[in-house]
Structure 1
Amino acid sequence: MTHRYQLTGMTCGSCEAKVKSALQAVENVTGVEVSKTDNSATITMDKHIALSDFQNAIGGTESKYQITAIHHDETAEQTRGWLQTYKPILLIFAYITGISLLVQLGSGRFDGMQWMRHFMAGFFLTFSFFKMLNMKGFAESYVMYDVLAKKIPAWAYLYAFVELGLGISNLIDFNPLITNLTTLIVMSISILGVLQSVMNKKKIQCACLGSVFNLPMSTVTIIEDALMIAMSATMLITIL
């Protein structure tokens, strides 16, 4: 996508070169053209980039260079960019939710505990599948942020098989106490590294769907881990 921005503060060729270089260094930018004559910048990018990211790149809000959007709604573009980035994971959640609800429809009545078990089965089986498509790629991403994998790299490879086991266990309703306790422990460990990365604003790839999709670490990752923790905790409370 290509957007045109108003860019003020450039007074000479040196300014143009400086600003152009700074904007080209922004992640996901593929092309930049700037002009001090008409105070503009035309930027081509792989996906939508927030206006604030460009402003920070050229010195922040206190800089003499100021960039503003032209002919497009920045909020709408951010929303569209977010949806485009997270489309794979949103579709996966929609499919798992829909299928697990259809199972309940077939049984004639809604059983909340059974629905959660089927949802968790679908979640772990699907996510383990994507990790196993490229185990090496997943492991390399996972060790970048997971607290346990950083200390024990082998855990990055084992994790996909643990997810597979949890998926099968939920599917066949194997020993709910052990299955949900394991889920609670594993996902609690997993969310620690995610929280650290998001809070420190580290720009690293989320390994939740392996290396198949380039998903950035974000609150979406926290939500998916927290959801599994909440479901397993609820089922444990019911069992006990």
Structure 2
Amino acid sequence: MTHTYNISGMTCDGCIAKVSFLLKRTPHVKDVEINLEKGQATVTMDEQIATSVLQDTLKDYPKYQLSEGSRHSHIEKNIFAAQAEESKSWIQTYKPIVLIFGYISCISLITALSGKTFDIMLFMRVFMAGFFLTFSFFKMLDLKGFASSYAMYDIVAKKFSGWGYVYAFLELGLGIAFALDFEPVFVNAFTAVLMTVSLLGVFQSVLNKKKIQCACLGAVFNLPMSTVTIIEDGLMILMSIAMLSMYL
């Protein structure tokens, strides 16, 4: 038997994959087809499933609301949400990242100027520590949500579902390592490799023009994947290579 449900909150291909994945985990669900434009999910099941059960499947992601309400009212809501997203300016969309980079740059600059001369090595080390600690913090707020979003585009997470969880803790470890200046040669080399692997998935998604959510700040902010993400990862790679060359 097949039933069609309205689902609000879906805005991109990443949402389609996530909602489809969650619904397919429900017992007796055989297949799920998502129509993003209509905001609908067509669920094929081998026996009747209560709507409340399907709603419970999405409870960890409150932005997705499943219902059997009016199809037309739901479409209007979806169109309104899409128009609101499109009307956002660049600064409104990426405000969280701009603020984070601004604050980290500020504290890094103050620290680097604490001596008689500007210490570029200290600036980069503090910046890297702040970057990884801050970004891992947002991932930890919804670790499951981050892992799910990360698996939409990362080349490793696509093959190994647990990589998103590992990656969040690796960022935390790197942040602590940079803050303590622990084994700088190894840490910088490892960072360069890790961020390069991460960049490959981002690069593929941007080139293919996939409209998916960037997981750099976990599942807390709905940031679109774009060249901003490439610049962000690229900057970390360049800094780690620059620091590595100074140590060698």
TM-score (norm 1): 0.69
8 Å CA contact 1:28–1:47 kept in 2: the answer is no
Structure 1 runs (4+) greater than 4 angstroms displaced: 24-28
Pairing of 1:153-172 with structure 2 (within 5 A)? 153-172=161-180
2:213 equivalent to 1:213? no
Percent identical across equivalent pairs? Answer: 60
Q: How does 1:1-240 map to 2 (within 5 A)?
A: 29-30=79-80, 45-49=83-87, 81-240=89-248
Q: CA deviation at 1:105?
A: 2.4
> 1-side partners of 2:144 and 2:229: how far apart?
20
Shift of 1:81: 1.1
CA contact (8 A) 2:199 2:234 kept: yes
TM-fit CA distance, 1:29: 3.2
Distance across 2 between alignment mates of 1:207 and 1:188: 16
Q: Is the 8 A contact 1:138 1:210 kept in 2?
A: yes
Give yes or no for contact 2:113–2:119 (8 Å, CA) kept in 1: no
The CA deviation at 1:144 is 0.4
Secondary structure in 2 matching 1:201 = coil
* Alpha carbons of structure 1 residues 27 and 148: separation in structure 2 relative to 1, 3 Å: farther
- Answer whether contact 1:203 1:216 (CA < 8 A) is retained: yes
1:33-87 deviations in Å (ceiling 9; x for gaps): xxxxxxxxxxx832334xxxxxxxxxxxxxxxxxxxxxxxxxxxxxx61110000
- Please report how far the alpha carbon of residue 107 of structure 1 lies from its aligned counterpart in structure 2 after TM superposition: 2.5
TM-score normalised by L of structure 2:
0.67
Name the CA shift for 1:168/1:149 in 2 (closer, same or farther; >3 Å): same
Distance 2:79 2:209 in 1: 19
1 or 2 for the larger relative contact order (CA 8 Å, sep ≥6)? Answer: 2
1:191 counterpart SS class: helix
SS of alignment partner, residue 47 of structure 1: helix
* 1:108 Cα deviation from its structure 2 partner: 3.1
Q: Report the AA paired with residue 185 of structure 1.
A: V
Superposition RMSD in Å: 2.1
Tell me the distance in 1 between the aligned counterparts of 2:235 and 2:217: 16
1:154 is displaced (CA, Å) by 1.1
